[in-house]
Each structure stands twice: as structure tokens, then as C-alpha cells.
Amino acid sequence: MSGLASNKKSVVRSFRLSAELCEELEAEAEREEVTLNALVTNVLTKYVRYDRHMNKLQYIPLPKKVIEMLVEATGEDFLRQIAYNFGKVTLRNEVDVWPASQEFDDLLEFFAVRMKYGGVGNVYINKEGEEYTVVLRHTLGEKFSKAWGWFFKGFMDSFYEDVDPVYTYAEDQLTITLRAPERRVRSQGNLNNE
């Protein structure tokens, strides 16, 4: 997934765009105070890394305020159950349509891309030896931080048996500290062949 890093060699391409579309892109680039090339690169990167895969899953985008209201209106036990199951089942299904390996580092990168382009927030990953620190910054409150901790745990549990993260919750941040897991979840096929 990291093949789209900004330090990679670039290629010059030319495209035909309608004059109206080009004017809109130029105006948007000016509003965002970036070059037209940077804007188009950002749009295409988001499409390649996120949108084309999400289209296969038939997701419906919701405003952040709706998600915030749903999280706040949900009891903690029910929220824990929903978030964990969403991570374990739904996010696992998303990984199945993503063009990346299911190695631990790639799963963390997938999580970061999913959070960024899904509009949740930004994820920062730091690795020191075998210990990882994953920080999710968002604007949805502490209860949301807890929900995403359970979501992350469900997601990791769908791939590994020995994930034991430590969470630090804050109003607009979730910090996860964990060691790289080693024991993969055994598939039903593996269980039948033993």
C-alpha cells in the first residue's frame, strides 16, 4: 500500500478535461492554496487508495455529526459490542477487497488509510523495535475514542490471536500501544486439516 508514497518517481501524463471542470479544479486549488497538480494528485491518490475499494462495499457516507450523535446516544456495553464486531467482521471484509497483504504492518497502514479517507481522523504510526504506537486524532469526543479502541481490537482479533493493545483515551485522541502479534488466527480450513 505504501507504493503511493510521495517520494516515488513521478510520471508526466496529459488528460483532456472540459473547460468547466478545469475551471472548477483551478478555483478549488486556489481556495485550498495548493497547486493544481497537488490538488489533482490528492484526488487521484484518494481514489486509488480508498474510493474505488469502498465502492465495491456499497457504503453510504454519513455526516460526522450523525455518527457523533449515534455514539453519544448508545450505551457503553452495546457500543463496545457493536464497535468490536464491526472491526472484526466489517473491517475484515474491507481488507479482503484491498490490494495489500495481510501482514501486520500492512494492516496498520490499511487502518490509517481507512480512518483518513473515511473522514474519521488522522492516524500516526510509530515503530520502535517490536513496539508500535498508533495514534488516532479526531474531533468526536472521548466516547468515540473508546469505540475506536474496541473497533481496532476487533479488527486485529480477526487476524491475530495474541493482540494485547494498551489504550489511552482522550477527548479527541486514541493512543494504542502494542507489540507486533505473532499468532495468526487459524482459518476453518486449517482446523479441518489438522
Those residues with Cβ within 8 angstroms of residue 106's Cβ, 6 or more apart along the chain or in another chain: 1, 100
Q: What is the pTM of this model?
A: 0.76
Helix %, strand %, coil % of the chain (to 5): 55, 15, 30
- Helix ranges, 64-103 (H): 64-73, 76-85, 91-97
Identify the three-state secondary structure at position 170: strand
pLDDT of residue 81: 96
Are 155 and 137 a contacting pair, CB within 8 Å?
A: no
pLDDT of residue 4: 47
Give mean pLDDT in consecutive 10-residue pieces for the chain, a chain of 194 residues: 59 90 94 94 89 78 87 93 92 80 88 88 93 94 92 92 92 93 67 36
125 bridge partner residues: 134
Gyration radius from the chain CA atoms: 19
pLDDT of residue 194: 36
Those residues with Cβ within 8 angstroms of residue 14's Cβ, 6 or more apart along the chain or in another chain: none
pLDDT of residue 37: 92
- The CATH architecture assigned to 64-188 reads 2-Layer Sandwich (3.30)
pLDDT of residue 193: 33
